[in-house]
């Protein structure tokens, strides 16, 4: 009987001790579906969902954060690669379009130039060739007497340097007055008058620019006198 009472007391004391410890432990813990879970703890290093701030916990957390950082870096690199590829494709497309526009522009320019050349060629074909008489006016009657062929020369052309030229031209103009115009006489007058203009380098020094200019105009009109005569036929 005594033994039974003693065992009852021991069991009762033990049960009270267990209940008190369970009560104290359950204050900071929660039970879900009959299982115990440790509470979320906050330490000096931040938020720790996996238990206390221990060396092993810190190692696990560091590895997890490193893995997450590598993942974010890989994701950022993938996004950057994708953007670079898009930019490269856009650059290739823009360059191809630019070359196409340049080619089209060259074709337009070449077509316009070809059209202008063809128009110029057609105008040249349709344009009548200029006659010698279209270049210079005819001499006045007081400069050339067409009934006798006598010429009133400018003073600066009466020098010895022009004697040969004057004789050839006067011979041809007198022939025209007597026998009528012909191609040979017109050619002699034209050729000789042009040669005399080339030999006028000393005229400006001796007689000045105004006399030089008047003499050149005189010889230019004289050079086509034979052709004017032929047009009158």
Terminal CA-CA length for the chain = 178
176-185: Cβ within 8 A, 24+ apart: 176/146, 176/149, 176/226, 176/229, 177/145, 177/146, 177/147, 177/148, 177/149, 178/149, 180/229, 180/233, 181/226, 181/229, 181/230, 181/232, 181/233, 182/230, 183/230, 185/226
Decide: helix, strand or coil at residue 127: coil
Q: How many CB atoms lie within 10 A of CB 41?
A: 14
Decide the pairing of beta strands 35-37 and 41-43: unpaired
H or E element, residue 139: none
Which pLDDT tens digits describe the chain residue by residue (233 residues)?
Answer: 554 544 454 445 544 544 555 444 444 444 444 444 444 444 444 444 544 468 887 888 888 888 898 889 889 998 999 999 999 999 999 998 999 999 999 999 999 999 999 998 888 777 777 777 888 898 999 999 999 999 999 999 998 889 999 999 999 999 999 988 888 999 999 999 999 998 888 888 888 999 999 999 999 999 998 888 888 76
Decide: helix, strand or coil at residue 170: helix
CB-based contacts of 161, cutoff 8 Å, min separation 6: 199, 202
Q: What is this structure's pTM?
A: 0.46
Rounded Cα distance, 219 and 135, in Å: 12
């Amino acid at each position: 009987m005594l033994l039974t009472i003693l065992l009852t007391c021991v069991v009762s004391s033990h049960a009270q001790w267990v209940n008190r410890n369970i009560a104290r432990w359950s204050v900071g813990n929660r039970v879900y579906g009959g299982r115990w879970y440790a509470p979320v703890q906050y330490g000096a290093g931040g938020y720790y969902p996996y238990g206390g701030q221990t060396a092993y916990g810190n190692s696990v957390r560091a590895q997890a954060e490193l893995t997450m950082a590598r993942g974010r870096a890989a994701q950022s690199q993938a996004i950057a690669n994708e953007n670079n590829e898009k930019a490269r494709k856009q650059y290739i497309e823009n360059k191809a379009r630019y070359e196409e526009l340049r080619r089209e522009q060259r074709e337009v320019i070449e077509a316009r130039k070809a059209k202008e050349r063809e128009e110029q060629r057609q105008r040249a074909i349709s344009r009548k060739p200029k006659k010698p008489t279209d270049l210079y006016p005819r001499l006045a009657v007081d400069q050339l007497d067409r009934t006798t062929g006598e010429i009133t020369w400018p003073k600066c052309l009466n020098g010895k340097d022009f004697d040969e030229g004057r004789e050839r031209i006067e011979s041809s103009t007198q022939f025209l007055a007597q026998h009528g115009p012909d191609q040979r006489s017109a050619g002699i007058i034209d050729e000789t008058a042009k040669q005399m203009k080339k030999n006028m380098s000393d005229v400006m020094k001796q007689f000045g620019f105004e006399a030089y200019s008047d003499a050149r105009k005189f010889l230019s009109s004289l050079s086509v006198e034979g052709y004017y005569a032929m047009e009158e036929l």
